[in-house]
């Protein structure tokens, strides 16, 4: 174990608490009070002046008979709000509703309901005089006006409201500048053993210490020997013959424990800009016995971009401060993009008592998912992140995530929704939902039904795997890469809340600072690219293939792979072939990345087309393995690789597509394990010229979609097809396999020889229904416009996924003649030469990006088509040309896209 510095908690000084109280500035006689939140950093992107977080309080006005409201009025800036009242035990009558005015447009929203949220604090924190009754916070976006009413079901004003009712307007301020800063609430202490056995290089372990007093809880019942695969069924309280004492908190900071599971990358409180004005000190249990899964429960959270998650975290903390909690109530929070945020301070590697499940806060870890999962479907990325947290915390105590546990209630039944009498015990799955112990819908029906899957994932042998990421600057949004091998360059276009930001593009060549080697004609640098967190710091790193690279010993076209580290992309390393014939190997014809041995860091897989084909696996910090694809001496062709967990064991696997020297398409599966990646063999389904991976049928196993554009190579349709091959616990299966072509019912167009449908393929969930969809290019498609045939104009087709796999129903064709799409079809444009189905704005819906590599006489273009909550954003489609991306003339922009 490596040493680490322990952190001693520094509670609020009297002077600082006095400042917070004195900082409540009355702005007018109407009852506006503003609280400044200390320690808020500057914004990271420099787009606006840094703004500190603040809470603005407006008292509701009395209209007689206990009716309360607030007339429409101008306000200071805010992005979220909640309604609170003096007595935490009092109940609001009717439903609080609000309208807000958009800061930018001046438009007033419709009336939005606020959900009353009973306090979930217990023990000493639950008895605090500072606790207030209130609602959950509603994310409004940047606003500067508000109107509040409390109404009955028929819309009439509801009387009998509790005293002290107000609306608190939450301004989360701007994002903190930089990252990796330890929370300001800590001072360096003595050196103690490292808490986790993790080898991951996270920016900070953030052992932020905080919470209220607490004492030794009772022993849990050992987990059941049999694993439960079904969702927890909301068990009723079951008294046991021997009732153990309910857990009591302690203020003593326990020693951290190492975990058998690598810690996942976590965005610390300092990194998301938490306030450190904690009103109290942390309390601790003695262990972690179970995980309680929550959702934030607000429909407005479903509309958030992951780029706004840090701001939402600050507003949730403000909400919990406003309710009288000592700090944010959850121990961890995740978003739809799989970002993990440190919740309550006190030490992520310690059994910090939260305020998330009254009666059961001690010895549990509370994990909340931003969104309302009664209505939304949970994302694959979020489920994986929740499972990683569960496994890491459980790994400190040797807990089977699929087992059972008996917990003892520490609060009275009926108080704030608690369903279990104080001192009574209840047996639950180790991973259970808030609704199992509390009268609530939390964590929502769609998430609740996935709890057994989370538990099963947390038990997989490869659970220490690096989380998949394509976010090199860690702003929460996927970043796009366009390889331009003819120019020996790659173009990285960052995603944002508004989609790709071409003004912030990064160009990498072998002449760029920090990139190994030098740029030479024919290197084909950028032929293939892949994202992965190679050094385990939470930032995506970029692997780049250059199959035309010559070595220094005279071996022409040996090939090379370069890995550049995010976020700066100015340091990295490169390597070439091992153990195979060097000359003409063309390593880097295909690359992909994934954590093949489950050590918390992504590894790189590369393949070369020369000398019968070759493959190379570079384990981060470990060995390199290699081999040949065939026994032939000639070149194979059309290499493409995809990473996924095809057998759901937690280890990343690889599917490699190629055309053999006999002209037949093949797909070879490589299986991940604790020792790395091994060649499992060629599957029975024929290959094509492209391949992608994702969970198309929504069963938790990644599937592959093979693009088969040429019938002679695949035995498929004359105009091409795509074939989805399901993953299973033993690998791929033809059971449930689906094939889509342009004569499939529901698919636009017709199957015609030369269309080359499937020349490119990408997989992603464009409508956020929980099933991955497929986007396939047909660059050979002929289109007629103005009575003239445009040969090889090209198009692409979006094909929906579902529980039965791919389906033609609901398919959408896109070309430059589609209404709303800029430009127009022209002969030999080759629209669809590359495609990407990935979320470039962070809203949880994959956008469509297309390449047309022969547009404008070979200059090439990209076209971005966003996915919106109501469908595809045709009017927002944008072309990125050689001028926009600064590529050379005839560079054929649009040959390669990642992810």
Given a cut of 80, is residue 220 above it in pLDDT?
Answer: no
| β-pairing verdict for 61-62 and 138-151 | unpaired
Tell me if residue 89 falls in helix, strand or coil.
Answer: coil
For 255-273, the pLDDT digits (tens) are: 999 999 999 999 999 999 9
Long-range CB pairs of 113-118, under 8 A, 24+ apart, other chains included: 114/82, 114/83, 114/138, 115/297, 115/298, 116/91, 116/92, 117/323, 118/358, 118/416, 118/417
* DSSP annotation of 157: B
CA distance 355 to 20: 22
- The neighbour count for residue 242, using CB atoms within 10 Å, is 6
Q: Which of 556, 596, 560, 564 is nearest to 577 (CA)?
A: 560
CA distance 240 to 258: 33
Q: Hey, is 530 helix, strand or coil?
A: strand
- What pLDDT is stored for residue 177 in this prediction? 75
* Angle (CA) 395 396 398, round 5°: 60
Percentage of the chain beyond pLDDT 90 is: 83
d(CA 411, CA 357): 10
Segment 656-669, tens digit of pLDDT: 999 999 999 999 99
DSSP string for 566-599: TTT---EEEE---SS--TT--EEEEEEEE-SS-S
How do residues 528-549 score in pLDDT, each as one tens digit?
999 999 999 999 999 999 999 9
* Least confident interval from 218-232, 527-541, 553-567: 218-232
Alpha-helical runs (H) found in 266-414: 269-272, 309-322, 380-394
| DSSP state letter for 245 | P
For 646, 649, 666, 848, the CA distances from 702, given in Å and listed in that order, are: 5, 11, 19, 20
Three-state SS at 260: coil
CA distance 298 to 115: 8
- Cβ pair 671, 728 in contact under 8 A: no
Mean pLDDT of 319-345: 97
Separation between Cα atoms, residue 166 and residue 641, nearest integer Å = 57
Q: How far apart are CA 594 and CA 531, in angstroms?
A: 9
**For residue 558, what pLDDT band results from cuts at 50, 70 and 90?**
very high
Give the separation between CA 472 and CA 541, rounded to whole angstroms: 6
Cis peptide bond N-terminal to 56, omega within 30 = no
- What do you get for the CA distance between the two ends of the chain, in Å? 36
DSSP for 301-330 reads GGG--GGGHHHHHHHHHHHHHHTT-SS-S-
Asked if residue 193 has pLDDT above 80, the reply is no
Peptide linkage before 143 cis (omega within 30 of 0): no
Domains parsed from the chain with CATH numbers: 54-113+134-171 (2.60.120), 478-632+639-687 (2.130.10.130), 688-898 (2.130.10.130)
Q: How many percent of the chain have pLDDT more than 70? A: 87
> Which residues sit opposite 801 in a β-bridge?
806
Work out the pLDDT band at 48, boundaries 50, 70, 90: low
The pLDDT value given to residue 176:
86
pLDDT at residue number 239? 33
pLDDT-derived band at 37, boundaries 50, 70, 90: very low
How much is the mean pLDDT over the chain?
88
pLDDT at 123 over 50: yes
pLDDT at 22 over 90: no
390-425 tens-digit pLDDT: 999 999 999 999 999 999 999 999 999 999 999 999
Q: Are 485 and 526 a contacting pair, CB within 8 Å?
A: yes
Query: Which residue stretches of 229-376 are H helix?
Result: 269-272, 309-322
Query: Could you give the 3-state DSSP secondary structure of residue 497?
Result: coil
CB neighbour burial string for 596-609, b if at least 16 within 10 angstroms, e if fewer: bbbbbbbbbbbbbb
CA-CA distance, 886 to 450, in Å (whole number)?
45
In angstroms, rounded to a whole number, what is the distance separating the alpha carbons of residues 224 and 126?
Answer: 32
Backbone torsions φ then ψ of 855, nearest 5 degrees: -60, 145
- Strand locations in 501-568 (E): 506-508, 528-532, 541-546, 560-564
Confidence of residue 249 (pLDDT cuts 50, 70, 90): low
pLDDT band, very low/low/confident/very high, at 248 (cuts 50, 70, 90): low
Cα-Cα-Cα-Cα dihedral of 234, 235, 236, 237, to 10°? -120
> Across residues 76-100, what is the average pLDDT?
96
At 252, the pLDDT band (50, 70, 90 cuts) reads: confident
178 — pLDDT class (breaks 50, 70, 90): low
The answer to whether 252 and 182 are in contact (CB under 8 A) is no
> What is the model's pLDDT at position 246?
52
Report the greatest alpha carbon distance in the chain.
92
Quickly state the pLDDT bin for 622 (edges 50, 70, 90).
Answer: confident
Cα distance between residue 848 and residue 840, in whole Å: 9
d(CA 691, CA 686): 12
Which residues does 532 contact at the CB level (< 8 Å), separation at least 6? 466, 468, 469, 540, 541, 543, 593, 594, 595, 602, 603, 604
Q: In whole angstroms, what is the distance from residue 509 CA to residue 604 CA?
A: 20
Binned at pLDDT 50, 70 and 90, residue 708 comes out as very high
What is this structure's pTM?
0.88
Q: Give the whole-angstrom CA distance, residue 562 versus residue 252.
A: 49
Residue 487 has pLDDT above 70, yes or no: yes
Between the CA atoms of 378, 381, 382 and 388, what dihedral angle is there, to the nearest 10 degrees? 140
Q: Which residues pair with 9 in a beta bridge?
A: 186
How far is the CA of 457 from the CAs of 49, 201, 223, 369, 400, in angstroms? 43, 23, 17, 17, 11
pLDDT of residue 216: 32
- Rounded CA separation 695/726 (Å): 8
Give the pLDDT band of residue 85 (cuts 50, 70, 90): very high
């Amino acid at each position: 174990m490596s040493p680490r510095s322990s952190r001693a908690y520094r509670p609020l000084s009297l002077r600082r608490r006095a400042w917070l109280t004195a900082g409540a500035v009355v702005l007018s006689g109407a009852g506006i009070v503003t609280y400044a939140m200390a320690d808020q950093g500057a914004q990271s992107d420099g787009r606006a002046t840094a703004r500190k977080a603040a809470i603005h309080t407006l008292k509701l006005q009395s209209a007689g008979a206990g009716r309360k409201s607030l007339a429409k009025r101008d306000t200071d800036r805010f992005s979220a709000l909640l309604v609170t009242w003096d007595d935490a035990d009092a109940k609001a009558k009717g439903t609080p509703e609000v309208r807000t005015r958009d800061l930018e447009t001046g438009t007033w929203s419709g009336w939005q309901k606020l959900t009353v949220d009973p306090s979930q604090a217990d023990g000493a924190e639950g008895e605090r005089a500072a606790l207030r009754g209130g609602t959950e916070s509603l994310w409004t976006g940047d606003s500067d006006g508000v109107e509040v009413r409390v109404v009955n079901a028929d819309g009439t004003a509801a009387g009998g409201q509790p005293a002290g009712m107000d609306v608190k307007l939450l301004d989360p301020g701007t994002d903190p500048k930089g990252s990796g800063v330890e929370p300001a609430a800590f001072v360096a202490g003595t050196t103690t053993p490292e808490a986790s056995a993790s080898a991951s290089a996270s920016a900070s372990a953030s052992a932020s210490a905080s919470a209220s007093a607490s004492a030794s809880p009772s022993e849990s019942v050992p987990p059941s020997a049999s694993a439960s695969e079904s969702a927890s069924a909301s068990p009723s309280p079951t008294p046991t013959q021997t009732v153990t004492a309910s857990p009591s908190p302690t203020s003593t900071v326990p020693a951290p424990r190492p975990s058998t599971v690598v810690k996942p990358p976590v965005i610390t409180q300092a990194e998301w800009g938490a306030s450190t004005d904690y009103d109290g000190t942390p309390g601790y249990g003695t262990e972690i016995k179970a995980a309680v899964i929550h959702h934030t429960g607000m429909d407005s959270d479903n509309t958030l971009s992951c780029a706004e998650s840090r701001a939402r975290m600050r507003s949730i903390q403000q909400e919990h401060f406003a309710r009288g909690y000592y700090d944010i109530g959850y121990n961890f929070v995740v978003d739809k993009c799989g970002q993990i945020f440190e919740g309550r301070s006190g030490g992520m590697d310690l059994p910090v008592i939260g305020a998330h499940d009254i009666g059961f806060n001690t010895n549990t870890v509370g994990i909340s998912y931003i969104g309302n999962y009664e209505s939304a479907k949970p994302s694959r990325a979020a489920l994986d992140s929740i499972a990683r947290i569960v496994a890491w915390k459980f790994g400190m105590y040797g807990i089977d995530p699929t087992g059972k546990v008996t917990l003892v209630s520490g609060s009275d039944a009926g108080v704030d929704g608690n369903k279990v009498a104080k001192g009574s015990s209840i047996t639950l799955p180790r991973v259970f939902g808030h609704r199992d112990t509390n009268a609530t819908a939390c964590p929502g029906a769609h998430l609740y039904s996935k709890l057994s899957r989370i538990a099963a994932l947390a038990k997989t042998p490869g659970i220490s795997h690096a989380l998949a990421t394509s976010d090199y600057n860690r702003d929460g949004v996927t970043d796009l890469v366009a390889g331009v091998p003819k120019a020996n360059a790659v173009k990285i276009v960052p995603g944002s809340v508004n989609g790709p930001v071409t003004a912030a593009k990064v160009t990498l060549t072998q002449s760029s600072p920090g990139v190994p080697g030098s740029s030479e004609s024919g290197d084909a640098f950028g032929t293939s690219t892949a994202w992965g967190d190679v050094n385990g710091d939470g930032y995506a790193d970029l692997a780049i293939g250059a199959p035309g690279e010559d070595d220094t010993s005279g071996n022409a076209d040996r090939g090379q792979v370069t890995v550049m580290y995010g976020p700066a992309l100015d340091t990295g390393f490169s390597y070439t072939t091992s153990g195979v014939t060097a000359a003409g190997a063309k390593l880097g014809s295909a690359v992909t990345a994934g954590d093949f041995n489950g050590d918390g860091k992504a590894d790189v897989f590369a393949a070369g087309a020369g000398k019968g084909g070759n493959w190379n696996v570079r384990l981060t910090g470990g060995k390199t393995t290699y081999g040949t694809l065939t026994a032939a001496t000639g070149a194979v062709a059309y290499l493409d690789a995809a990473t996924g967990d095809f057998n759901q064991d937690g280890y990343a696997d690889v599917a490699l597509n190629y055309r053999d020297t006999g002209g037949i398409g093949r797909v070879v599966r490589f299986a991940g394990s604790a020792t790395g990646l091994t060649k499992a063999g060629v599957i029975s389904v024929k290959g094509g010229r492209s391949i992608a991976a994702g969970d198309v049928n929504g069963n938790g196993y990644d599937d592959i979609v093979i693009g088969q554009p040429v019938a002679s190579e695949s035995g498929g349709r004359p105009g091409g097809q795509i074939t989805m091959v399901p993953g299973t616990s033993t690998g791929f299966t033809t059971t449930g396999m689906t094939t889509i072509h342009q004569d499939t019912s529901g698919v636009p167009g017709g199957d015609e020889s030369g269309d080359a449908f499937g020349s490119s393929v990408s997989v992603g969930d464009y409508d956020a229904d929980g099933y991955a969809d497929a986007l396939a290019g047909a660059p050979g498609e002929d289109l007629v416009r103005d009575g003239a045939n445009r040969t090889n104009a090209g198009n692409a087709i979006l094909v929906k996924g579902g529980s039965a796999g791919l389906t033609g129903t609901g398919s959408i064709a896109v070309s430059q003649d589609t209404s709303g799409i800029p430009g127009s079809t022209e002969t030999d444009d080759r629209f669809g030469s590359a495609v990407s189905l990935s979320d470039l704005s962070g809203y949880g819906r994959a956008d469509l990006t297309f390449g047309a590599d022969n547009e404008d006489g070979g200059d090439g273009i990209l076209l971005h088509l966003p996915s919106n909550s109501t469908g595809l954003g045709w009017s927002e489609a944008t072309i990125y040309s050689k001028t926009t991306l600064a590529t050379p003339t005839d560079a054929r922009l649009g040959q390669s896209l990642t992810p």
